[in-house]
Amino acid sequence: MISWFARNSVAANLLMFVILIAGAFTMWKRVTVETFPSIEFDYINVSVPFRGSTPEEVEQTVSTRIEEAVYDLEGIKQISSTSSEGIGRVTIEVDEGYDVKDLLDQVKSRVDALNTLPREAEKPIISQSIRRREAISVVISGDLPEKDLRRYAEIIQQEIASLPGLSQIETSGVRAYEIAIEFNQSQLNEYNLTLQDVANAVNNRSLDLSAGQVRSERGDILLRLKGQSYTRDEFTRIPILTREDGTILELGDLAVIRDGFEEESINTRFDGKPSIELEIYRTGTQSTIDVSETVKAFVESKQDSLPTGVSLSVWRDRAKPLEARLSTLVSSAIQGGLLVILLLALFLRPSIAMWVSLGIPIAFAGGMIFMPELGISVNLISLFAFILVLGIVVDDAIVTGENIYNHLNKGASPLNAAIDGTKEVAVPVTFGVITTMVAFLPLAFMGGGWGVFYSQIPYIVIPVLIFSLVESKLILPAHIGHTKPRREQKKPNKIIQYQQRFAKGFESAILKFYKPILDFVLDRWQLSLVIFLGILLLVWASISSGLTRFVYFPRIQSEIARVSLKMPEGTPFELTDSYVEKITDAALKLKEKYRNDEGESLIQHIFSSSGSTWGGGSASSNIGRVMVEMMPPESRDDDITSMQVVSEWRKLIGPLPGVETLTFRAEIGRSGDPIDIQLRGSDITRLNSAAKEVEESLSEISGVFDIADSFSKGKQEIQFKLKPQAETLGLSLSDLARQVRSSYFGVEVQRIQRGREDVRVMLRLAKEERGSLESLNSLLINTPAGGKIPLSQLAELSYGKSPSSIYRIDRQRTLNITADVDKVNADIEAIKRRIIDEATAIVAKYPGVSFSLEGEAREQEESNTSLMISLGFVLFAIYILLAIPFKSYVQPFVVMTVIPFGAAMATIGHWIMGMPLSIMSMMGMLALTGVVVNDSLVLVDYINQQRRNHGESLKNAVLHAGVRRLRPVMLTSLTTFAGLMPLIFEKSTQAQFLIPMAVSLGFGILLSTAVTLVLVPLMYYKAAHVKQFFRRKIA
């Protein structure tokens, strides 16, 4: 096939054009553009709203019952639950190898069959966890009343939803609509009414009801009773009873009716003004950039028609960092590609260099063809994979082209040189590419939080390498085979003359320097082996002693900084809001401080929220958050980092009395806390006591800060116990509980659909009658006999604490202690060892309590396990792939001696760059194992050919092979490093977490060149001697 394509350039060119056109069409029409890969999580969520309930009540009556109903289903890896005030959530993690949808159906069947859930609880919501794909946010802000701002936000939401391709839009940081009907006890007593009597009256008179149809001669006519109330005025006119004088007592005469929002307060501000955030998501194959451009164009068009005092702004535009990252990576790819072409032109004939370089776009286009079929989008990770393979993709073409070049220099015709040169190295080149593919393959199955994302790398690298093999065997020979011989060309120009002088000078240097060095090494093999072994031991000692630091995921500064405030449960909203204002004021001071000469501030926007979590979570008066958006680091006039801004922000805020936790974040890629100690047990008191000791232990460790735990002090709780008098009157605990709940939490009499909003209609006592213990004691309870007796005479009241949330994993209560670490200066591995020792001693004092390290430590453990399994697989596969072409059991080990040195050289590369080792470094070293053996494979194969085909002596064959293969070895190493070099030295935020893998691969290959050119020939030489020795012994 090589000969046929070499002689049929039309077929080769048609194949090339088909690949290029198909790849371009796929990228243009079929591939999605997004920041990170879209992934589906193997989790099933069960959510049960139980409004007005305490966390312990939710745990006992909701979470525990759901856990017990599903725990024995096959395919469940872990069950976790969170029981909070008013809602219970159970999360089921699906084990590998099981279908999520099948298990989802089984969970639905089990939960739907439960008949023991509380009557007041809402219907369970059961769904698969799906990652939402945020694209951009729009913020409506202005000094307007909440209702007016909300109404205008709804208009904007409808207009954005009507834009082409935009459908998923959610409102964030707002209170739910509610119609509240509030009574005074005296008014109810005056008319001898109860809340339930009023609720029945509202339900009977506020409704729409179909009543069948009239079947007339002219056709059927539907009958419908319309009486549903939707507004405050309509509810006001609902009749409750008829007085003795015949007049009607309406609801508005009896109660205060508010058509507004839930009682819980939420205060959201954008740049100091009240605001509402609209979160816009992309769907299907939509491009994040396209969605962003559409929304920004809409915002721009609305500026002139905005009401006075209202602003419409873009916030958290995900396309902005995406475009910056794409620009960074594309720029790195172009620079790397130019460096590769320059190196090829320097070492080879420019015409050959051009045809070899053409393999890059052909292989890349081939990889693009399969992206949609493999579920790969254009994202940060996939673009990084293209850069990663940029220098590697031409390795096979370099070896092939260089061998053809050698045949041309010996006087062969271009066509014969192309055919013979390609066939001569076909076997080692093919197996070399396969070893590279095998080394990248395990990345598709990596564990840990980031393993899911980096699994996309092999889905790019492997197809690209397959097409590079096709190009180097079928297309490259046809192109080189039809170039003009140099002797037929005119007098070469200056560029070609310079290239010829360089090539000849390089060949002379090989004979003058490299050959004598290799000869010396072969003669002084003991000294050489000691030197190489010493390098290995030096690197290993630096790692094991901690001199070479390992940080699982280095801290990478973000353009977004966040402060999260948590006060004790039950803290008044006003106090939480005042602290949020103080945090915001500190950010405003920094905004004014860091302005450049043009007046542009480092801090561009400030977004704050009191009483709610991001993303429209339930209101909570003790929660506050502030987020600031900063300039990208590369656009800043000063060299100040995001971490330095946060540190200064922390100092400006100062101490906040009574705060439970105050955490600061300004980093990207954080999937878990650096320190996360999870305690498990059934006794919450023991868990809390053990947690306090662990926290005290952590506070004594240097470099550890922002220590927090998941056990809140909780709200004060009043518990009821029936007195004998109540039981004598026939009053049950259930009756008492329902009446107290109706009076204080309220009765949901209706839920109406008003436009797009679901509005609850709530009946309860007036707020002033629910605000003191005296009013609670005097609350009148209806007895079965029709009497009304104060609560204090029917029940004993005792005081206690209710936790804010109760967490469980695998049906056991859990408590997590989290902390941050100074990753720049602290030895994280030493800290983890100390934590394990001290936590072991602490939990030993509390029977029934156990602990485990979660967060980054858990991810690191999963990643390390995956890496070790992957390394074993890769080494075994490489051995097989080397043994087959060599037809030897020993020679694969000769080639594989370069692998540990590749890892050592990658570590030295981290020393040069001043970087710690990380999980990305390890992934790079894993991929390096397949790449670094390629040159050694070709070198050993050439030695075998010299001995087998030309009968050379062992030493002459080794020396000849070293001299002959030095140029392609140098070229493949230099082009791989050149392809990665722009990314390695990139300073932008967008590239930082990709660089460690590039450093491992780039420096590992570059610095291993000396090992390939010296150690591998030496090992081959000594292995042959050992083999000859044993043969003589056996003979």
pLDDT of residue 19: 93
pLDDT at 489 over 60: no
pLDDT category at 484 given cuts 50, 70, 90 is low
Among residues of the chain, what percentage have pLDDT more than 70?
A: 95
The highest-confidence range among 484-488, 560-564, 711-715, 937-941, by mean pLDDT, is 560-564
Chain centroid, CA 782 distance in Å:
55
pLDDT of residue 617: 44
Residues 982-994: tens digit of each pLDDT:
888 877 666 677 7
570's CB contacts (< 8 A; 6+ apart) are: 621, 622, 714, 715, 716
pLDDT category at 615 given cuts 50, 70, 90 is very low
pLDDT at 487 over 60: no
Chain centroid, CA 375 distance in Å:
17
In this structure, which CATH number among 3.40.120.10, 3.60.20.10, 1.10.510.10, 1.20.1640.10 belongs to the domain 2-34+322-551+860-1034?
Answer: 1.20.1640.10
Residues 296-307: tens digit of each pLDDT:
999 999 888 888
Comparing 40-130 with 557-667, is the CATH topology the same? yes
pTM: 0.77
pLDDT category at 616 given cuts 50, 70, 90 is very low
Mean pLDDT, rounded, for 638-645: 81
Residue 338: what residue type? L
Question: Which residue ranges make up each domain of the chain?
Answer: 2-34+322-551+860-1034, 40-130, 557-667
How far apart CA 744 and CA 736 sit, in angstroms, is: 12
Q: What is the mean pLDDT of the chain?
A: 85
Residues 116-127: tens digit of each pLDDT:
898 888 899 998
Residues 953-1008: tens digit of each pLDDT:
888 888 888 888 888 888 888 888 888 888 888 776 666 777 898 899 989 988 88
Residue 908: what residue type? I
- DSSP calls for 917-941: B-HHHHHHHHHHHHHHHHHHHHHHH
Q: Is residue 770 exposed (0-12), middle (13-18) or buried (19+ Cβ within 10 Å)?
A: middle
pLDDT category at 90 given cuts 50, 70, 90 is very high
- DSSP calls for 124-186: PEEEEEE---EEEEEEEEES--HHHHHHHHHHHHHHHHTSTT---EEEES-PPEEEEEEE-HH
Of 17-26, 397-406, 890-899, 906-915, the least confident: 397-406
Residues 774-806: tens digit of each pLDDT:
888 888 888 888 788 888 888 888 887 777 788
pLDDT of residue 627: 92
How far apart CA 941 and CA 948 sit, in angstroms, is: 10
pLDDT of residue 828: 85
Angle at which helices 319-347 and 494-509 cross, to 10°: 80
Residue, of 342 and 497, whose pLDDT is higher: 342
H/E element, 257? strand 256-261
pLDDT category at 5 given cuts 50, 70, 90 is confident
The highest-confidence range among 323-332, 575-584, 623-632, 973-982, by mean pLDDT, is 575-584
Cβ–Cβ < 8 Å for 852, 678: yes
Mean pLDDT, rounded, for 361-369: 91
Mean pLDDT, rounded, for 92-100: 87
pLDDT at 221 over 70: yes
Tokens of 202: 């509202």
pLDDT category at 179 given cuts 50, 70, 90 is very high
| 557-667 has CATH 3.20.20.140 classification | no
Mean pLDDT, rounded, for 380-388: 82
How far apart CA 44 and CA 58 sit, in angstroms, is: 19
Cβ–Cβ < 8 Å for 784, 44: no
Query: 605-614 burial, b if ≥16 CB within 10 A, otherwise e?
Result: bbbbbbbbbe
Mean pLDDT, rounded, for 495-502: 74
Q: 757-765 and 177-183: which strand pairing?
A: parallel
Distance linking the first and last C-alpha atoms of the chain: 45
pLDDT at 1035 over 80: no
Cα distances (angstroms) measured from residue 522 to each of 515, 914, 948, 1013, 1019: 11, 35, 21, 12, 9
Q: Which CATH architecture has domain 40-130?
A: 2-Layer Sandwich (3.30)
Cβ–Cβ < 8 Å for 480, 355: yes
